[in-house]
Structure 1
Amino acid sequence: MNHEIKEEYLATLNNLELKEARRLIHFLAGYAMVVGGEENVMEMILKEVSEIKEKGY
């Protein structure tokens, strides 16, 4: 992987505003639904959110 792209990627993610993060989540979920199936992606998201809340991230 290109090191410069990785640095820019991480810096971009670390500096997202809440509104931007929500939009990105919707975009990525929509893309994943096309690739991996809508129900699978919804289940994955629900599981991940549950774990995040449980661990207090």
Structure 2
Amino acid sequence: MAKSSLTRVTDKAAPPRPRKPDPATEQVVERLRRTRSANEITSVIGLKPIRGRSGPKIAY
């Protein structure tokens, strides 16, 4: 085997620490969990309501 000028790393890197979630993101997630319809979801994320001839639509 040829000699290499690079050193061999034998120690494992420390696992990344879990990040604390942003409070604003957590609030939006909780509001989305409580929604029951597509129009409630659109109001939480700031879009206009979904409308059609036969009433609200299921998906955006």
TM-score (norm 1): 0.32
**Structure with the higher helix share, 1 or 2:** 1
Higher relative contact order (CA 8 A, sep 6+): 2
**TM value normalised by structure 2:** 0.30
